[in-house]
Structures are given as structure tokens and as C-alpha cells.
Structure 1
């Protein structure tokens, strides 16, 4: 690794990067940043930097970005959280002011491929980068192969149970696709050499900055409390313990940051802390500050408005952007002395405090139940202790049950080796590589594995990766498992190719057990119901760990009655949330988890629709699409078709349905005045009517279909389905007395189908033409014609 001199040299930004000096929020690089400059600016190797939290790693990213765009290249910044991508967008307006384009690509926003292609700096999460690289050969995502430098913020997320493998395979894929320069930044980690080995960063560009580079020395320890039988009471035991720890610093005009497990807990803890500070007679607050009082009046959150005047605040992702920005600014200015937050703040905003306390080491995850805070999160939060320029020492504590105290003491003493999580989800990621066509045979699998951090760690810590064993056997066994479950095909030469099932699993980011269950449902879908669709999603692997508390079980029973009794309590809770959500009537007891469950369910419903479209047919896919729209908008079955109109969401759909409009055709055929009378403005009514006219509208023409046919005779006829409005893909199906005669999938224009009229044993033949839209939440169009047999 690069040696670090004891020199206190700090170089001026204007001297190092004169054309980018205005992009940096300071005038001089600190000692740590200065030592990395030759590696970043004078060499082209990959770079790995491990340094204490709050020591200035963001500036290293900005140097790498500046050097890339100075050379006419494109830089990608991979941020660990979606909230941080938005923060970087705001921060890096400094680059925009210099004439460079910064573009954030997230799942929340519609991608503008033209802007992405022209951007100088792209910002993504690992999940979005994974998705984009999987689709690199499509026109929308072709820009992703033009990356010249990839900056990985918080590369120690490789060790994250949920997200580590995604980051690992994405970086390995980037290196195979376009081999950008990698600049990896990390909090302090003991095995930085393993990361450098994985990324082929030589010793000269691998940096491990120790505690001496921390702006403020850290005093960290574990404090215990006595665990009781009541979880609610335990929260207050830990809160009082936290108040004991922060009180002396608050009395000394210091600031404290207390991390709790949920958004709701930040609010409740702040309320209780205000009362406790009064009880303890700790002088705090700025109620006499007239200007601050006026500024606080602008907060949109009522509870926060009252709290900040007492010097206490809370911060979580659910606050408005303006409220969060004010809280952060007032904390930096010292007007807020005690701040309660969720862990998100530790990863993003640079808000150091003299004293940091982690009150909760466990949290409730809607999908996983009660889980431990990850060691990475714990270290990240503790690293916020110490305000450069204000404090001589930072103080940080973990409040833990006595039985877990030693675990956290070891973490504070030894740190945390960064491990690979790829083995835990190897089948899924291998399937994705095969589906993309980057792996053709067993030798490719081995070559791919050699590019992973998993391969490096298995070599440096074989005792911890014993399951890897012989990599060839491990790869061969994984491939055979994918073949057996229908995701890939493999010939005698060990060449592999993805099946339709494998490609869909990769496209929709599904766990393989979920993909298999969706395919099984589609292949057996003779008479699919909305109930079967909801059950399939509720039982998906993503909801395996959902738990139902006692009060929730009563609410679930009230929603479902006797339905779904064969389901386990967790999936039954999901089923109840989705079923009640279809009508917008989720019980209050289920609402705390409903949003997360619904967002995951919508993704799974979209995937299930694609499986049904591929393996069953358009009518089954259309059913799933209508269920998906009902779950998303909380609308009745009769009103959900209105959401097919561009610009009509749940609110406008309910307005129109209340006024008697049931379908987009009703909207098209209405007088404008009727739409205005229903509650729409004239401009909105005009736009919605225009958009409704862009949807398909079919006419079924029966030609010379006979009214009767003699028994024993037959007549070949034609049925024409003509679309007289906007185009769409559809499945057209003709049945007679419930038996399918002919079917086709097509992009609707004019479609003619041959239909045989046979005089058999039945006294009457009922012909049914059905037009179903797999991608639109419109009711299928059905028309019938009866023929008597005499």
C-alpha cells in the first residue's frame, strides 16, 4: 500500500485543479486528500481508499470525476442509497454551473436516454446500475457502456446481506463490458487489500488511512441496559440510558445525535426527550431567538415546529425536503443540540456531533420482521462522532442488551472484515449473466467467478468459504441446479443458454423460487382468478419473513374472514393488505407495513403479468394487469379501467366513476360539459378526453355469419376485429360453447380469423369473440353470436 508521510501539507484546490476550483466547497485539500492526488491525477490505475468516516472521502470522488470530465470522459458515481443520489444531484449543481451535466438515474424517475447519453456525470444506486448493465444492449441503456470512470461510494457495502452481491456482480460486469477506471471509497476496513486485489489496484494506489487521519479522535464504547419483557418499555429504558450519556455534552453546549430504529421512533423519542430535559433542568432551546422563531414557523411538520424551538429535532426520510434541509442547517449552526434520526443520516448527510448514541441495535423490517442493525450501519453511525474544528474528542456509544455487549465491543475493537455475499445468491446472479449472453459455457462461468470479490475472499480466507471448495465443481453444481429447475438449457458440450423462464427471472429481478412459482401458475392457468393472483404474490419469497403481530392478526381476520386459511400468518397478512388495498380500505392496524409491502407487490404483479403473458395468454395477463392497477390505485373493479387513460390516477378515476363514467369509451363519448360537471377543470377534461381517445377501441364484424345451420352441415366463416382508435397489443380469442377454436396475439389494426360453423349434436352454438389487452387495465371486449342447429 501507498506510504503516508507525516507531512501536514495541504494543497490549494486552485493549484491542483484550477478549472474545477469552483466545484469544491473548500479551498484546500486536507492531508488525507492531498496524499491521494498523485494516484488520482498522475496514474490511470484503479484506486482504493479506506479512511475514517467524515475524513473527506467525497472530495476524492470529486477529484476523480473532475479528472474524468477534463479528459472528455463520463463518470459514474454509485451511491449506496436512493436518498443520496438526490443529495448528490443538489450538491453537484456546482458542476452544472461550470457547464457540465449531472444526471441521476433511479427507479423513481422515467429515464431520459438522451440526457443520460449526454451526461458528464451519472449517479445511480447499485440496484439501478445492475439493472442498466443487464440491459446494456438495448437502445435505452446503451449509454452505460460508455462509462470511463466508476466511483463506488462506500464500497464496504459489499458486506451488506441484501445489497452486497448486487454491488459485486455489477462492478464485475462493468469491468467486462467497458473496463472503466474504478475508484473505490470505503470507511475503515481491516481487509482493504482484498478489495484492492479484486479491483487490480496496485499498492501505489491503495490507501489505508488509520485513526490518526480522523479529524477528531473517537472514544467509542458499549453501554448496557437490563432487558425486560415489554419491548415498548425497553425502548424507554434505552432512551433514558441515552439521555444519561448525552446530558453532560448538552450542558456543555455540545451536540448529540441519537439513532433510533424507525421514522415513528424519531418523533416519539424527540417528544419524550423534550419532557425529560425539562425534568432534568437542562438549559436548551432558542425560544427567545425571534428570527429562529419565524424560520421555524415555516416548517410543514407541526410536531417538528414545536420541537426545534426547544433545541430538539428529528430527521427521517418521510419529512419534506425543505424540512430536512432546515433541520440539517440548524444542526450545523448549533441551534438544534439534540437530533434523533434513522440510520439513513449516517450514510449521507455530513452532520457530525460531539456525542453519538445508537439507542436501537434492532429494527422492524416489514419484509423481515425484527432484524439486527448491520455491523456496517453501526460503524457508520458511530463514525459521525466528533465535530472538526469544535471538539477535541468525539464520544460514541452503543446501547445493547447485556447478552450482546461483547459482540459490539469486538466490533468496535477489531472492525469488520468485508466479506462477499455472492455465494448466498449465486444461482440468481449466474442466471442473469447467462440470460444476458455474457456466459456461454462452464469455462465462462469459471472466468466470471474469477472476476468476483467472492473468488478473492475464498482465496484469502478459505476456512470461511469452505462451501466454495473446488470452484469448477461448485460452478458445475450450480449450473445443474439451474437446468433442473428450467432456467437454462445445457448441451453435452456444457454450453448453456437461458430459457424464457430464465430471461424473465433476470429481467424482473426475481428470486428464482418466485420465478418458478409464477411459471407454474401460468402453465396451469385454465381459469385464473384475481384471488389466485393475489395468493401467488403473497406467497412470493420476498415476503417469506413477514410477521404478523397479535393486533394485526385480528385485522387480517376481519379483512379475509375464512379466506386464505391455508396461508402462513406472514403471507396471509400480505394477502389481506393487498385484498383490502384493492378497494382502498386497508385497516389502520396494517398500515404501518402496507406501503413497503404494496411497493414490493406491485413489482411482483408486473412480473407475474409478464409470466402469464408468456406462458398462459393475453386474457390471463390482462387479469393480472387489472389486479395490479387496483392494488396501486385502490379502486373498484368497475372503475380501474379508467386508469388506462394517461393522466388519470386514483383521484380522478374515483371522481369520474362517482359521476357514472365506467370506461375510457364513456369519457370519449361524453360532452365536455359532462366531464366538467363531474368535477374536472375544463383544461383537464380536454386533456383526459384526448388521452382516452388514444386508447384502442374495437369493432367486431361477423360477416355473413348464419343464424341457423342444419345438423351435419358446416360453413367456414370469417370474423374481423377492427381497431378504430389508438393502437395496442392484444390477444384475440374465439370460442364456441366454451371451447377455444382459434386465437392470436397481435398489434391491433385489423385482424381476420377463420371460424368454422359445424352443425353437430348441440341445439345451439354460442360463438364468443374476446379481445384482451395484456398491458392495459381495460376490461376485455366480448361479443357473442348464436347459431341455431336444426
Structure 2
């Protein structure tokens, strides 16, 4: 079947001219029917074209298509691939957490590309103008729906699809690698038998020979990596010597680089005839690589690939591997889920990986099968070879996985509290009957019907009722006399910021404290449940202790103290080398938690503390001290410029405005940068406190009401104004401060001989140090 016959108006959107056998069998279901579709097919059998056909059907009907990609790296890849749709006049828009959302572009897009997490976020906020576009989706294509069984992300995908179906009921087209229980997924998505497909291994373009090879591990994990590497090279060598290629998956980005370096030495030692050092044209092409290590490596026929490389370098490596210029490629699992880059031989050197938030964990069975599925080059090989290298003790587990595959389970029960809380907070569940109706829309419920003993189906409704009671007792949910259910402010904040329920309770406890300072904020974040699995290695303990000298770590132990040390060190840009490998992930999670904490403090009427949380967040992101943190509120000012300006005595945006362009140039900025920084500083509030005729004396027992004037010479911003006398709060008021404002201050002759009045102005959402001024009144 020619593409031009099946979809003549979209023929240019496909990278090939003829559909394969699997695609031909699915054409009627995708193009002639409006039913939901579920298809399970071997890796590399051409599932991407099925997604594109479903999208063509939606576009041809005048609708909007949503493509849910399993990871962020693949959303960017689809944006490039689907420029073909753009050339046909259709708009493709990628929505990810790393990009600023343009609601107008999202609203007008014909094809939306999102991750499960971003789709979850959008559906939670569907009633806002910013995310209303999500309710206009007519067809939702789920790529790699077996992600449902992912321990971290499966439940997110499950509740998101259930929610999307309740919001706008789009056509669902779910695509998956081979899974034994495809009918359960079809039942969940209401796909009838005639549009449910289960393609076996005979639809693989190349047969797969997969097996397990063992090694005996020692006491040194570093040495074990090399034992596994040599084992992997033993398996790859015969194929490489016969002009084949090998794809070796390792657990981390750093490992791809180290394994490639070691392999180059080993290839020379074994005298394996690969590489292209004599190819002048190829040598010239490699000069375009930005990574120096990679540039040297590819000439020896060895390369590495991971998400941390520039797009230019990744694209070149992929192209050279396809051309056969690279014979051995080391990669992280990202490559298995995305780019169609098969090799004659695939080896999984690592079956365990280090997660900064979880410690050492087993690689997901889904990842293992996905990576092995890359073995075999269509059109070049009759058979592909896939190997799992593992410890002898794990061999039977992996042999069973290769023999039987992996049934897709629901992971919703593991995080039912959080997801039920989110639905109640959004208002999609308003009574107990709604709770049970929602339950029946989940894969969890369908899977429990298939495996009643495993899921305790007989008691599943009681389990959900118990979960609801727990949410009520913890203050997340309120039940009315009429059996109605409402989410509290705590529930809404928890849902909005994707917090663990225990973390939300921890933040509420902090907000209820009388005094909140920087150490208390850091301890609350470091002890968040999101960091429960962080482990402090023996080699890190001295560095942790050195950072935390003089710092009260409260009830934190082990991993919690490690997180606290990383947060403290990051705020001054002085993270010890021993802690840097996990610092970035921990820092990024902490920034998100601090943004949530700020919202908690604002909602629970602690605006001064919210400003402090904002400053801690800015210090953590930029690595600056308290003295110069306010400068980071200026667009274009990061750690380097903030520190440079602070050394010259310019510590606030107000100082920058007063210095002017000439003063900034004197402080070391170029003229162009100085102009931009000064202009941005003028877009921030610039507040002065004027006391007017405030008295200096008052008779004991007398009262006098005066007004203090706040002058804002900058832009308007939500502010909090606090008045204290002798350290005791008199008044606190939140206001939008866009011009001059007056603050009434009662002056009274109390029992003290002196009364110190302090007016303090802070901005909860800006990292500006509060502006404060005082006057002392003698009591006579």
C-alpha cells in the first residue's frame, strides 16, 4: 500500500513511500473508524507511522491532535521530525516544563506534543485561560503506553488519561511495545476488539536472539564496571569484526564517556580493525563536534550519546552510526525510547543505576526490554543479538523477563492518596459516588478485575474509602453534612505544586511557627518526603560535616543532612566536589519545593516569611550571598554580575538605579550590559520610608495617631507592610504598592522609657531584602 494512496493529502508528511505489513493491517482501524485504538507491536516495527496516521485522521477531520511522548528529549525530536506537517500548513507546538508556555500558540496548534507530566499539569489547570487549550484535544496518541508500569511515572500517565477522557473525551490511540496483557489496556480505554491489535515477534523486521551473560562481582563497584565492560566487548567483538555494529547501554552519562575512553584502549590492545583515522573527509566533518572527547573518540570508531550533549553533537553521532562510521556506541537508555537507531548487537552493560533521589536501583524491566528491542538492522541483518550482562544472582530474573515479557501493571495504588487528593482539589470529585465513578475510569480498576487476588479486588472500594478518610483526618479534605467532599487550601496547594502529602504537612507545620528563619526553611525543605530516598555515601560524610559546621540540622539524619549540606553550599556557590554528582538534581527539586513553600506561607498569611523563602530560592538558584540576593531580581543579573556589583557597593536594584549607567560601567559592566541592567532595575519597586512629623517624645499614658509615607519610585508590586514597636508586631497589611501610600502608626506612651517603632516593607514574590526604617520615641 502506497502512502500516497492511503493519505494522499498527507503523503509529504511521511518519510517513506510504502507502508509495511503491520501498518497496512491497521490502516482501516486508524483511518476509517473513530474508535479508540490499542496496538502492541515489537520495537522497531514501525509504530511511529501509526501515530502519524492517527494524527492525519484528526487533522483531516479538522481536529487537534495531542501526542504524549514518554520523555522530554523525544518531544524535541518530534518537533524536528514533524516539520513535514508544518510544510503542509499545520502548526506543531511542543509544551514542556523547560519552555515558557505561549498560550496563544498552544490554542492555535494543530498538533500538540507533551510529556505525561506536562499533560497532567495542563489537565489540572484546564479551567485557567493559560491551559484551556487542553480541553480542545480531539485525538490523543499515547506513545509507549506500557509506561503505565513505570514505578515513578506510571500512575501520572494513568490518572492523566482518565482525567483527559472526562474533560473532553478525545479519541485515544495507544501504542506499545510487546506486552502480554494488551486486552487490559484496551478494556481500560474502551477500544473494541476490532481496533485492538497484538502483533507478535513475526512482525519484527529482524529476528531477535536475546540472552543473559553473567559475571561475578567483587567488592569494588568501580572494578565491577570494567569487568562488565570487558564482558560487553567480548560479546560485541565478533559482530564488529564482521562489519556489524554494537550499541552498549550503560547507566549514566558519565559512564558513556568513561566506557568509550576505555574501549578505545581495549580495541587497540585487541587489534580490532575499526575506525576512520585515514578518512580525510570524515576527519574534517568531526571538527564540527563541540565535545572534544567525542571528537577524538569517533575517529577510532567509538562514540557516546546522552541527553547532556548538544543537539548538534547528538545528531552527528546518530547520522554517523547509521552510516556505519561508528562501530561501537555507548548510550544511556534515552536512545532506546526515541531514535530508531538499531545495531546488530545490543548489550546492556548495567542493570542497576544510581538515582540521586533513590540511591542504587534496578533498571526498569520496561527499559531493559526497550533497549534489547534495538537489536537487528532492518534491511541489513537477518537476526539481531541482545545481551543482558548481570550478576549471577540476577540471571534467572532476567531470563524469565526475556522469556515471558512483562505484564503491564497499574502503579496507582502506590500513590493513591496524592492522586485522589488532586482530583478532589480540582473539583472533579465532589462526593463519595464521584470517588467510585472515578475509580472505575482507572487502569487500576481494570487490572484488578483481571487479577482479583493480586489486587484484592473484593476490597478495592473499601481501600479507596479508607484513603479518603485518611485525607479527611489529615486536613486535606472536608466532608459536609450532605456527604459532599471539598478540598481544603492545603489540598489545593499540594495538588498545584505536586507535593508529597507528608511534605505538605511539613510545610504547614513550618508556617504555623512563630519565628521562621533561613535555617528553619532549609531544614523543612531538606526533610521533604521527596528526598526520603537520598543516601549519604561513606565517601561524602566528611564533606557533609564540613559544610554543616555550626548549622543546626534538627531531626535530619543521613540523606537529609546530605540534602541540607548541598542546599547550604549551593547558596554560596561552594559545593564540595564530593557532593557535586547529585547536587544538580537535588538543587532543582529544592527550587521547586521552595516555590511551593512560598505559596504555602502566602496562603497561610505569613507574607514576610514568604519573602524570606523567595530569597532562599534565589540564593539557591544563583549561588549568591544574602548581601547581593536582591540583585538577582534584575533581568540579566546572575551570580557573576551580582557578585561583581556587590563588591562595588551596589547591593540592591535601588542602588543600581541610583548609580545609573555610568556607575555600572565603573563597576565593571560593559556599556550595553549596563544599559540593559539599569533599565531592568527600573522595572522593580524602589521604596523609601518617610516619617514626616513623627514625634520624638510622648507623655506616659497618652496616645497619638501619625502617618508614615511609603514612596515607590519604581514599578508596582504586591507588598506587605509591617509595623512593630519594641519588636512586637502592631499591624501587618498586604497591599499592591504602585505609588505613594500612607501607613497609620499609633504612638502611645507605654510603660517602657523608650519605644522603637519599625516600619518594614517586603515583597513576597521578589528576592528583595525588606526595606526597613525606625524611629525612637522617649516616654516621659
TM range (shorter): over 0.9
Partner residue, 1:581: 570
- CA shift, 1:527, in A, is 2.0
Partner residue, 1:7: none
In the TM superposition, what are the counterparts of 1:479-518 in structure 2 within 5 Å?
479-518=468-507
CA distance in 2, matches of 1:671, 1:757: 39
Assess, with a 3 A threshold, how the Cα gap between structure 1 residues 713 and 485 changes in structure 2: closer, same or farther. same
Find the residue that maps to 1:719 and give its secondary structure. Answer: strand
CA distance in 2, matches of 1:679, 1:117: 44
CA distance in 1, matches of 2:62, 2:670: 49
Partner residue, 2:650: 661
Assess, with a 3 A threshold, how the Cα gap between structure 1 residues 469 and 520 changes in structure 2: closer, same or farther. farther
CA distance in 2, matches of 1:276, 1:523: 61
Matched, 1:696 2:685: yes
Partner residue, 2:265: 275
Matched, 1:647 2:629: no
CA distance in 2, matches of 1:142, 1:650: 37
CA distance in 2, matches of 1:273, 1:158: 36
- CA shift, 1:741, in A, is 1.1
Partner residue, 1:628: 617
CA distance in 1, matches of 2:81, 2:764: 42
In the TM superposition, what are the counterparts of 1:241-390 in structure 2 within 5 Å?
241-390=231-380
Among candidates 385, 391, 395, match of residue 401 of structure 1? 391
Matched, 1:753 2:740: no
- CA shift, 1:320, in A, is 1.0
In the TM superposition, what are the counterparts of 1:649-728 in structure 2 within 5 Å?
649-728=638-717
CA contact (8 A) 1:564 1:572 kept: no
CA distance in 2, matches of 1:593, 1:476: 39
Partner residue, 1:533: 521
- CA shift, 1:305, in A, is 1.0
In the TM superposition, what are the counterparts of 1:152-171 in structure 2 within 5 Å?
152-171=142-161
Task: Please identify, of 167-176 and 679-688, the stretch whose mean Cα deviation from structure 2 is larger.
Answer: 679-688
CA distance in 1, matches of 2:79, 2:381: 30
- CA shift, 1:26, in A, is 0.4
Partner residue, 2:539: 551
- CA shift, 1:680, in A, is 2.4
CA distance in 1, matches of 2:273, 2:266: 12
Among candidates 570, 591, 610, match of residue 602 of structure 1? 591
* TM-score, normalising length: structure 1: 0.97
Matched, 1:236 2:226: yes
CA contact (8 A) 2:653 2:686 kept: no
CA distance in 1, matches of 2:700, 2:304: 81
Matched, 1:98 2:88: yes
Task: Please identify, of 687-696 and 390-399, the stretch whose mean Cα deviation from structure 2 is larger.
Answer: 687-696
CA distance in 1, matches of 2:688, 2:338: 56
CA distance in 1, matches of 2:387, 2:667: 59
Structure 1: state its 5+ residue gaps: 1-10
Partner residue, 2:561: 572
CA distance in 2, matches of 1:571, 1:236: 32
CA distance in 1, matches of 2:516, 2:605: 10
Task: Please identify, of 705-714 and 303-312, the stretch whose mean Cα deviation from structure 2 is larger.
Answer: 705-714
Partner residue, 2:413: 423
Partner residue, 2:214: 224
CA distance in 2, matches of 1:469, 1:603: 39
CA distance in 1, matches of 2:253, 2:444: 35
CA distance in 2, matches of 1:55, 1:537: 46
CA distance in 1, matches of 2:761, 2:31: 62
Partner residue, 1:477: 466
Write the deviation string for residues 49-100 of structure 1: whole angstroms up to 9, x where unpaired: 1000010100110111111112211111000100111111111111111111
Among candidates 53, 56, 80, match of residue 63 of structure 1? 53
Matched, 1:172 2:162: yes
- CA shift, 1:42, in A, is 0.5
CA contact (8 A) 1:523 1:616 kept: no
CA distance in 2, matches of 1:502, 1:720: 39
CA contact (8 A) 1:490 1:497 kept: yes
Matched, 1:459 2:449: yes
- CA shift, 1:476, in A, is 1.7
CA distance in 2, matches of 1:224, 1:522: 53
Matched, 1:777 2:767: yes
Partner residue, 1:542: 530
* TM-score, normalising length: structure 2: 0.98
Write the deviation string for residues 616-638 of structure 1: whole angstroms up to 9, x where unpaired: 41110011100100000001111
Find the residue that maps to 2:54 and give its secondary structure. Answer: helix
CA distance in 1, matches of 2:660, 2:744: 39
Structure 2: state its 5+ residue gaps: none
Q: CA RMSD in A?
A: 1.2
Write the deviation string for residues 448-492 of structure 1: whole angstroms up to 9, x where unpaired: 0110000000111011112x5433322221111011111111123
